[in-house]
Amino acid sequence: MRTPIAYFVVLSGVLFTLGTLGVLLRKNALLIFMSVELQLNAVNLALVAFSRMHLALDGQVLAFFSMVVAAAEVVVGLAIIVAVYRRRGTVDVDEARGLAG
Amino acid sequence: MDDTSVGISGMAWLWFVPAIPLAGALLNLFGGRRLGKLAGLIASGAVGLSFLVSLVSVRELFGASVEERVVTEHLFDWISVGNFSVGADLRLDALSATMILVITGIGFLIHVYAIGYMEGDPRYGRFFAYLNLFVFFMLLLVLADNYLLLYVGWEGVGLCSYLLIGFWFEKPENATAAKKAFITTRIGDTAMLIGLALIVSETGTLAFDVVLGSPDDTIAKGTATAISLLLFAGAIGKSAQVPLHVWLPDAMAGPTPVSALIHAATMVTAGVYLVVRSAPLFELSGVALTVVLIVGLVTALFAATCALAQDDIKRVLAYSTISQLGFMFMAAGMRFYTGAMFMLVAHACYKALMFLGAGSVMHGMHEETDLQRMGGLIRRMPVTGWTFVIGALALAGVFPLAGFFAKDQILEIANHTGHTWIYLLGTLGALLSALYIGRLLFLAFFGESRSEEAEHAHESPPVMTVPLVLLAAGAVMTGLLLSSSAEGTLARFLEPVTGPIPHGDGLSTLALSLIATAIALGALAVAWWVYASGRVDRVAFRERLQPLPRAAAAGWYVDHAYSTLFVKPGIAAARFSADVFDTKGVDALVNGVGGGVRRLAAAGRRIQTGFVRSYALGFFLGAVGVLVWLGTRL
């Protein structure tokens, strides 16, 4: 008996929501970054689940792409966060508001 | 050369007459300070040379038979548009010949005088550059063979007049006087330009030959009246006739040689020249001639009364010039064009003489111009004094000086052609002339010295007194040389151009002459009795006549009236435009648009908080919105 698709979708939705709330509510750049990863993986989960449901490989391929890109993005993102920390002594995103109008 | 003109050919150097002063002006303008004292010599030499060329040209003219006394010289095509063309054409006939001799001859003497008068002025060279430029434009004006070229000269002399009245522009009132002169004459000039446009629309050309040759064929009588009156409006402005006379007394702010050359001898007579030159148009109209006559008469009397009460020596002479110009227009208005021209020549001599004499007085008295502070000057400066006496007698019309013949002829024609009222009023004008010039003469040169400066006045150097003597000789002799009677020498010379002299019957010439002389001498005697005999307290005399002298001294408040009627409303309108319409209307609109954009931007920049998380919220909400939208479409 296969696990119903709804389980996966709901889990994916919960994870995505947690990620989104983290992005919106957290001030620490590192935690925001982790929340973004959570969102990405929530989407990956949904992709793989739907891929299984349709018995097509497209979704899984896309999930792989997404993971690769996420890995690359982590490298760049962490580098930026380190650079910001070196320059400002903090990773609080509310402190970095030089573009305020 | 234009083949439509009859005349002597082979005179290809007429253009030298205006070109030499122009060259002098350019030399002085670009030579600047490097020329130093040379400037005066160059300028005087240029005008002198121009005078010689004029003399030769006029001699050539005399050589031809009477009908052929016209020389035209085509220099180049100036404007050529379709059927309309204007050439740079010069024309020498009896009329322009008379004018160029006056301009260059008297101009030369005034230039020489100015060498002494302007000595030590910081802008010595520029003065002579302007003066030469003036002579160039004046010669262009009288030598032009079409109205447009004449207009170029007309505006050019106006410009030079402006530059020279305001020559000592450091004093604000001089600059104001210059502006006043320019703007006032501009009123007339604008009318004149409209007149020229009307001529073009009627005849399709501006050439004298066509327009004045047989105007009855091409121009309707009513149009001729319009054209004549518009041209005369220009003459009113330039020749300072009522009601545009107000600029000339103020123009005395300029250096005295300028007053002599521009505001007595030449430029202000351009109006008379214009009327005489355009005589066929005025004749065709008829009404226009009456207008000329009336304006001339009113001006002659009006300005003479003003001259009676002035205390500034130059202002007396300025009002006198206005009055004398009025006499010239009177003559022209009675079709006595040769009389107008005769008066022009005579007046140029004796009025230039008197202006230069006044300049010499100012020179000897540290720029004093107040008659009340002079007196007895003839003992300190005999040459100036006696030449001035000659000038004054000439103006008063004492036999046998120039003014006698000029004024006497005009009054004689008035009497003979049945203009009895004109004769009587003209005689009154002559009486007033003799009175005011007698007052000036006796106040300045006779009686007691009334100030320190008058006690210690000194005679001017020969470079100034020699021109005075020569002009005095001119004032004595022009009358005798140019006239034996109303149909005398100058009149006969001018007749082919100006047409025959009007004839009629009236009192005999001898009787009229006796009346005129008696009036002149009588008025001079009264002036002597009041101002120099010491038997009359002239201050008390003046007080008893109040408020008349005060009103006359203020020019019968014409300036005040213009100020109230035109200047102040004009300034108020400008103030309204600037302070209300511009600031509160136009500026408010522009500032409103700018301010609106700023306020919009201020509202917009609030979105840009700089908080990355709020941008993320924006993304999120946007994404949700898109999803909802897609969801509703499914």
Predicted local confidence at residue B350, as pLDDT: 93
Q: Is the same domain home to B313 and B341?
A: yes
Domain annotation covers residue B436: yes
Cβ pair A24:B604 closer than 8 A: no
Cβ pair A32:B613 closer than 8 A: yes
Is the CA virtual torsion B114, B120, B125, B129 positive or negative? negative
By the 8 A CB rule, do A91 and A29 touch? yes
Domain annotation covers residue B311: yes
Does the N-terminal peptide bond of residue B467 adopt cis geometry, omega within 30 degrees of 0? no
- The residue from B534, B550, B566 where one domain ends is B550
Question: Domain of B622?
Answer: 558-633
For the segment A14-30, what is each residue's pLDDT rounded down to a tens digit? Answer: 999 999 999 888 888 89
Residues in A touching B612 (Cβ below 8 Å): 93, 96-97
Predicted local confidence at residue B250, as pLDDT: 92
- The residue from B550, B567, B599 where one domain ends is B550
User: Could you give the CA distance from residue B386 to residue B445 in angstroms, rounded to a whole number?
Assistant: 9
B612 touches A at CB < 8 Å: yes
Q: Is the same domain home to B343 and B438?
A: yes
CA dihedral A75, A76, A80, A85 (to 10 degrees): 0
Q: Is the same domain home to B619 and B481?
A: no
Closest Cβ opposite residue B617 in set A24, A32, A101? A24
Q: Is the same domain home to B487 and B364?
A: yes
Please, which pLDDT band fits residue A4 given cuts at 50, 70 and 90? confident
CATH class of A5-92: mainly alpha
Q: Is the same domain home to B494 and B598?
A: no
B608 touches A at CB < 8 Å: yes
The C-alpha of A32 sits at a distance from chain B's nearest C-alpha, in angstroms, of 9
> Closest chain B residue to A93 measured between Cα atoms?
B612
B607 touches A at CB < 8 Å: yes
Query: For A57-86, what is the mean pLDDT?
Result: 92
Domain annotation covers residue B413: yes
Cβ pair B613:A27 closer than 8 A: yes
Q: Is the same domain home to B366 and B404?
A: yes
Query: For A22-46, what is the mean pLDDT?
Result: 91
CA dihedral A49, A55, A57, A58 (to 10 degrees): -70
Question: What is the 3-state secondary structure of B415-454?
Answer: HHCCCHHHHHHHHHHHHHHHHHHHHHHHHHHCCCCCCHHH
Domain annotation covers residue B392: yes
Q: Is the same domain home to B299 and B379?
A: yes
Cβ pair A94:B607 closer than 8 A: no
Predicted local confidence at residue B133, as pLDDT: 95
Predicted local confidence at residue B483, as pLDDT: 72
Joined tokens for residue B340: 């107008």
Question: What is the 3-state secondary structure of B114-148?
Answer: HHHHCCCCCCHHHHHHHHHHHHHHHHHHHHECEHH
Predicted local confidence at residue B62, as pLDDT: 82
Residues in A touching B620 (Cβ below 8 Å): 20, 23-24
Predicted local confidence at residue B486, as pLDDT: 62
Report chain A residues touching chain B, CB-CB < 8 A: 20, 23-27, 32, 93-94, 96-101
- The residue from B503, B519, B550 where one domain ends is B550
B606 touches A at CB < 8 Å: yes
The residue type at B384: T
Cβ pair B611:A93 closer than 8 A: yes
Domain annotation covers residue B49: no
Q: Phi and psi for B532 in degrees, rounded to 5?
A: -130, -15
Q: Is the same domain home to B519 and B566?
A: no
Q: Is the same domain home to B576 and B445?
A: no
Name residues of chain B where pLDDT drops below 50: 1-7
Predicted local confidence at residue B307, as pLDDT: 92
Q: Is the same domain home to B452 and B522?
A: yes
Residues in A touching B615 (Cβ below 8 Å): none
Does the N-terminal peptide bond of residue B462 adopt cis geometry, omega within 30 degrees of 0? no
Predicted local confidence at residue B27, as pLDDT: 92
> Closest chain B residue to A94 measured between Cα atoms?
B611
Q: Which of B612, B617, B619, B627 to mutate to test the interface with A (most CBs of A within 10 A)?
A: B612
When divided into structural domains, chain B yields a total of 2
Closest Cβ opposite residue A97 in set B604, B606, B610? B610
Domain annotation covers residue B347: yes
Q: How many Cβ pairs within 8 Å bridge chains A and B?
A: 36
User: Could you give the CA distance from residue A26 to residue B498 in angstroms, rounded to a whole number?
Assistant: 108
Q: Is the same domain home to B492 and B606?
A: no
Closest Cβ opposite residue A100 in set B610, B613, B620? B610
CA end-to-end span of chain B, whole Å? 96
For the segment B323-376, what is each residue's pLDDT rounded down to a tens digit? Answer: 999 999 999 999 989 889 999 999 999 999 999 999 999 988 888 888 888 888
The residue ranges of every structural domain in chain A are 5-92
User: Could you give the CA distance from residue B100 to residue B135 in angstroms, rounded to a whole number?
Assistant: 10
Joined tokens for residue B484: 């034996």
B421 touches A at CB < 8 Å: no
Output the CA–CA distances (angstroms, integers) from residue B118 to B36, B80, B542, in the order listed.
Answer: 12, 44, 36
> Closest chain A residue to B614 measured between Cα atoms?
A24
Q: Is the same domain home to B524 and B577?
A: no
